[in-house]
Amino acid sequence: MRAYTPKDNVQKKPYYTDRYWVAPQVAKHDVSSDEVFAHDLDAIKAKFEVLDAYIQVDQMVVIINAADNFAVIEMLKNEREYNQLSEMSAIDWLATEGKFEVFYQMLSMSKRKRLRIKCKIDEKESLQSVEKLFRSADWSEREMYDMFGVVVNNHPFMKRILMPDDWEGFPLRKTYPLQGDEFAAWYEVDKIFGKEAREIIGPENRDPARIDRYDTERFSRLGHEVPRGTDITNGEPDTPLVYQEPEGVFLIEKFDAEQSVVISDRHR
């Protein structure tokens, strides 16, 4: 019999895991199965050290040393017709390997082939910028720095791109909490009012869906409004929508439904 575990908070922690479940892997094929990629790989291997290379979903993945990244991409652009850097970023493997994986997704318009260059760097290690080769790397590298803290050398404007300049922490790292650390939680209060206002404004309400049906201090039910603080545990009266004060508004004529004309003939 399986040991009993409390199941009252199942959303927080999965209480059942399949012991025989294996994460599906995308099949890796040998590079020699594609003629075009095989030539490209030979060209890279002639000049640089290649740690691993395979074909996944019709795209070649080449894993190189991080120090070679600029030279490899320069060669692919100038000699192997990979003329577009469609995407680049990093992946956080700090927990398992203590490293970031940086990938460059490249496209050759003439060969109709996509190629991915990957390299791994340590947390404090920096990388050579490829902004000189591809302008698209300008913002991508800034975003990589903003989200992961991967510093890129020789970048013309190495600055945060999405988060504020005075932000602390790198939000896309696995160790960064989704709802923010203490700096993030008080960021707007500290910046606008100062730290001494924290006690007055109070912590963030991180459960915005929490609604107390009978709380008339903070909530009102549309069409059933009552004065603030009224006890409505025994039900509340209907209050029809009132667009104006009942006694009318100064200088504004109230709409009279009796005297209005309803046009029934739309072709009039």
Contacts with other proteins, residue ranges (CB under 8 A): 162-164, 171, 176-181, 184, 187-189, 191-193, 197, 200-201, 204-206, 208, 222, 241, 243-245, 249-252
Answer yes or no: are the C-beta atoms of 100 and 90 closer than 8 Å.
yes
Is 52 buried (19+), middle (13-18) or exposed (0-12) by CB count in 10 A?
exposed
Distance of closest approach, residue 254 Cβ to other proteins, in angstroms: 13
Which residues, including other chains, have CB under 8 Å from residue 103's CB and lie 6 or more apart?
87, 88, 89, 90, 91, 116, 117, 118
Q: Output 10 or 197, the one with its CB closest to other proteins.
A: 197
Q: Output 34 or 181, the one with its CB closest to other proteins.
A: 181
Distance of closest approach, residue 198 Cβ to other proteins, in angstroms: 10
Distance of closest approach, residue 79 Cβ to other proteins, in angstroms: 42
Q: Output 27 or 178, the one with its CB closest to other proteins.
A: 178
Give the length of the chain: 268
Q: Output 111 or 180, the one with its CB closest to other proteins.
A: 180
Which H or E run contains 99? strand 99-108
Backbone φ and ψ of 212, nearest 5° = -100, 115
Distance of closest approach, residue 77 Cβ to other proteins, in angstroms: 35
Q: Output 23 or 241, the one with its CB closest to other proteins.
A: 241
Q: Output 39 or 174, the one with its CB closest to other proteins.
A: 174
How far is residue 218's CA from residue 98's CA, in Å, rounded to a whole number? 47
Distance of closest approach, residue 206 Cβ to other proteins, in angstroms: 6
Distance of closest approach, residue 174 Cβ to other proteins, in angstroms: 14
Using CA atoms, how far residue 127 sits from 55, 63, 148, 163, in Å, is: 25, 15, 13, 21
Distance of closest approach, residue 183 Cβ to other proteins, in angstroms: 9
How far is residue 157's CA from residue 124's CA, in Å, rounded to a whole number? 19
Is 186 buried (19+), middle (13-18) or exposed (0-12) by CB count in 10 A?
middle
How far is residue 181's CA from residue 175's CA, in Å, rounded to a whole number? 10
How far is residue 75's CA from residue 87's CA, in Å, rounded to a whole number? 18
Q: Output 96 or 179, the one with its CB closest to other proteins.
A: 179
